[in-house]
Structure 1
Amino acid sequence: MASTTETKNYKFNHSMIRVKDPKESVKFYEFLGMKMLKRLEFPEAKFDLYFLGYDSPKAVSGGNNLWDREGLIELTHNHGTENDLNYKINNGNVEPYRGFGHTCISVDNIQAACQRLEDAGYRFQKKLSDGRMRHIAFALDPDGYWVEIVGQKSLELAEGVKETDVETYRMNHTMIRVKDAQKSLKFYQEVLGMTLLRTHENEKAAFNLYFLGYSESTGAGEGTADREGLLELTWNYGTEKDEAFSYHDGNKGPQGFGHICVSVDNLEAACARFESLNVNWKKRLTDGRMKNVAFVLDPDGYWVEIVQNERFTGKDNF
């Protein structure tokens, strides 16, 4: 394996959220068409990890090893929470603990996909018929996390798409709110090597959306809705001017969202590169017992896990 690292090989591998009851959460995400790809158990530390993603023949990275994918969801379950009546997840959208906003699934037929969720008894934060924006919906997972539903333009424009096929769904993006758009854009582009794919400016509502990703081949068709594994940064105008303003990173109490994860071609070389760029570290490779993962901090203090893409080593991470 080469001793250098190239950001063109990096992937936005997964987004981690904590869950109260893994059985209910796994059931929900499997209903959305995801497959359980791996379960890691840490009984001595009293937590388990569940990795889910799209794995059908129609999936963008179907069949790849766990760390050679984009658009996965990692569910973290701390043992006993499912039996704790007082345990509640912070979904990231309630003051004063806002930060993480949502994950997003893009689908072939948004009306049919939303109806299927409603028929199964799942709740919505926003149905298609609510409000002015009739082209997006927000479903609620069992813990109250928001899951945006959008249509894939390349499929919705296709003739004959009248029902919904979960094998065509994609884990499109993860949204986090950022205090200073320019600082965050610089970090995700210059440090993590992402490309700014689309900017949506809404001056009337005083916010901008920035969509970033790693590759021009993360999905078929035109536009960001046809891709997987994107990061959406939401910037509300003026927050950068308030020194006292900060977003909740999800890891201080009350907890919820934990981190995003980028897989790299050479873990040691990537971390050495980050060191040379003077990143803020949550955990270096040499810290603690787990020597195969590191965590850097973005400008808002969100955790970004760095792991090895096994395709470049031929060895299992765990």
Structure 2
Amino acid sequence: MTDPSTYKFNHTMLRVKDPKASLEFYQDKLGMKLIRTLDFPEAKFSLYFLVYDGENALNAGKEWTDREGVLELTHNYGTESDPEYKVNNGNADPYRGFGHICVSVDNIDLVCDKLISSGVKFQKKLTDGRQKDIAFALDPDGYWVELIWSRTPKVENVTDPSAYRLNHTMIRVKDPEKSLKFYQDVLGMKLLRTAEHEAAKFTLYFLGYNNDPNFVINSGVGVHNFEGVLELTWNWGTEKDPEFKGYHNGNDQPQGFGHICVSVDDLDAACERFEKLGVNWKKRLTDGRMKNVAFVLDEDNYWVEIIQNEAIKKNANW
């Protein structure tokens, strides 16, 4: 048996050109902690898993598969010295799809000032545009990192990185009805919040594995301070536009974003359940050399990795 209410939105994977530069950015600039490195020299790639950890972190001290809000950086050997290599950040036509990751912080003004003074480039500063409460920093590969206030009390001139959250990951979807059905009925997520932007003609849907019986959808309470949130962005009309060819999944060329990952209570049972639900598979457990991971495809052909939550049941020697 498998219980979707125990599932966790574990991590988001991004390909990076130079792991040294990316690790310096996410650790030294954004305060994340490297908790796991997996090297695959035979396949010529390495994986780096980063989290927010420490006194005020949501998942302090937990095993990496038992967390939400994990960032996986994938480095394919040699890209750092290849002058032609460049990632697709998902925000430029005709390769739009993945949009951004988002970090919620305790003091957004101070955090943005520190990033600017340290030389970090911004897609949007707090003072730009109409929305003065969000900013978008750029990581070394040009991925957008949204910065929002966690709605926790601010202390002037003080910020605590252990209180930051890797809050959400945004992907664009063609048909929200189909996507919501997949993420709710198949993956067991819950709708946490909906935000319509009529003037700009788009709607945002925030989903996650929230099991608080007192949580009220669209109340706005607590969502900024969560980890493991998935943001689906729907630009109105794409679902019925015959000229719209769909979004780029990050794994077709040119590559960038790779996948999101859900950790489950029982990997075999969860995959059996997905099979019965008729999911589209990218990789079943029995395919290929790695027998401890599977990949299903969502309605827009984004990859969703499925792994075992090792704190619940031991399955792999990660």
The match for 1:56 among 38, 54, 57 is: 54
Deviation digits for residues 183-208 of structure 1, max 9, x if unmatched? 00000000000000000011111000
Residue 19 (1) aligns with residue 20 (2): no
Residue 100 (1) aligns with residue 98 (2): yes
Counterpart amino acid of residue 175 in structure 1: M
Please state whether the residue corresponding to 1:98 is helix, strand or coil.
Answer: coil
Please state whether the residue corresponding to 2:152 is helix, strand or coil.
Answer: helix
Return the offset for 1:165.
1.5
- Could you say which residue in structure 2 is the equivalent of 1:250? 250
CA distance in structure 2 between the aligned counterparts of 1:238 and 1:223, rounded to whole angstroms? 31
CA distance in structure 1 between the aligned counterparts of 2:280 and 2:35, rounded to whole angstroms? 31
Counterpart amino acid of residue 263 in structure 2: S
Counterpart amino acid of residue 25 in structure 2: F
Is the 8 Å Cα contact of residues 308 and 317 (structure 1) preserved in structure 2?
no
CA distance in structure 2 between the aligned counterparts of 1:242 and 1:114, rounded to whole angstroms? 39
Please state whether the residue corresponding to 1:263 is helix, strand or coil.
Answer: strand
Return the offset for 1:222.
2.5
The match for 2:179 among 172, 181, 184 is: 184
Q: Which moved more, 1:239-248 or 1:196-205?
A: 239-248
Counterpart amino acid of residue 313 in structure 2: T
CA distance in structure 1 between the aligned counterparts of 2:156 and 2:67, rounded to whole angstroms? 27
TM-score for both structures, normalised by structure 1: 0.95
Return the offset for 1:265.
0.2
Please state whether the residue corresponding to 1:55 is helix, strand or coil.
Answer: coil
CA distance in structure 2 between the aligned counterparts of 1:27 and 1:33, rounded to whole angstroms? 10
Is the 8 Å Cα contact of residues 99 and 250 (structure 1) preserved in structure 2?
yes
- Could you say which residue in structure 2 is the equivalent of 1:313? 313
Deviation digits for residues 56-107 of structure 1, max 9, x if unmatched? 1211011110100001100000000000001001000000000000000000
- Could you say which residue in structure 1 is the equivalent of 2:264? 264
- Could you say which residue in structure 2 is the equivalent of 1:287? 287
Is the 8 Å Cα contact of residues 68 and 311 (structure 1) preserved in structure 2?
yes
Structure 2: gaps of 5 or more residues? none
Counterpart amino acid of residue 198 in structure 2: E
> Quick one: structure 1 residues 210 and 192, their matched pair in 2 at CA, closer, same or farther if it must change by over 3 Å?
same
- Could you say which residue in structure 1 is the equivalent of 2:206? 211
Residue 76 (1) aligns with residue 74 (2): yes
CA distance in structure 2 between the aligned counterparts of 1:43 and 1:70, rounded to whole angstroms? 27
- Could you say which residue in structure 1 is the equivalent of 2:122? 124
User: Pairwise mapping of residues 146-157 of structure 1 onto structure 2 (< 5 A)?
Assistant: 146-156=144-154
CA distance in structure 1 between the aligned counterparts of 2:211 and 2:193, rounded to whole angstroms? 12
- Could you say which residue in structure 2 is the equivalent of 1:172? 167
Structure 1: gaps of 5 or more residues? none
- Could you say which residue in structure 1 is the equivalent of 2:109? 111
CA distance in structure 2 between the aligned counterparts of 1:173 and 1:128, rounded to whole angstroms? 19
- Could you say which residue in structure 2 is the equivalent of 1:6? 3
Is the 8 Å Cα contact of residues 17 and 85 (structure 2) preserved in structure 1?
yes
- Could you say which residue in structure 2 is the equivalent of 1:29? 26
- Could you say which residue in structure 2 is the equivalent of 1:274? 274
Deviation digits for residues 110-159 of structure 1, max 9, x if unmatched? 10010111111110000001111100000000000000000011234xxx
Q: CA RMSD in A?
A: 1.3
Please state whether the residue corresponding to 1:8 is helix, strand or coil.
Answer: helix
Please state whether the residue corresponding to 1:121 is helix, strand or coil.
Answer: coil
CA distance in structure 2 between the aligned counterparts of 1:275 and 1:317, rounded to whole angstroms? 25
User: Pairwise mapping of residues 32-47 of structure 1 onto structure 2 (< 5 A)?
Assistant: 32-47=30-45
Deviation digits for residues 285-304 of structure 1, max 9, x if unmatched? 00001000000000000000
Is the 8 Å Cα contact of residues 292 and 317 (structure 1) preserved in structure 2?
no
Is the 8 Å Cα contact of residues 192 and 206 (structure 2) preserved in structure 1?
yes
CA distance in structure 2 between the aligned counterparts of 1:300 and 1:240, rounded to whole angstroms? 11
Counterpart amino acid of residue 84 in structure 2: N
Please state whether the residue corresponding to 2:177 is helix, strand or coil.
Answer: helix
The match for 2:63 among 58, 61, 65 is: 65
Return the offset for 1:48.
0.4
Question: Paired residues, what number?
Answer: 310
Please state whether the residue corresponding to 2:263 is helix, strand or coil.
Answer: strand
